[in-house]
Amino acid sequence: GIEFIDSYVFNKAEYIRFNSTVGRFVGYTEHGVKNAEAWNSDAGLLGQEQAQLESYCKPNADIDYSAILDKT
């Protein structure tokens, strides 16, 4: 299967991440945890992130996979 991960980084440190398998945001810093709580309560935002899997990842997976195989 395909997994979509959307990471947010500040000063080279990841502070929050959306993972399509989990279906929610996870915070890695105090600021990230607070944002994750707020963002996870927004059904529209969660739906938007999850939609990236269908609208971008899946249609491009074959193209990306072929490009990787061509380089090996």
Rounded Cα distance between 55 and 63, Å, is 14
Return the CATH architecture of domain 5-70. Roll (3.10)
Q: What is the pLDDT of residues 42-61, one digit of tens each?
A: 999 999 999 988 888 878 77
pTM given for the model = 0.77
**Three-point CA angle 7, 52, 55, nearest 5°:** 155
Lowest mean pLDDT among 3-7, 29-33, 67-71: 67-71
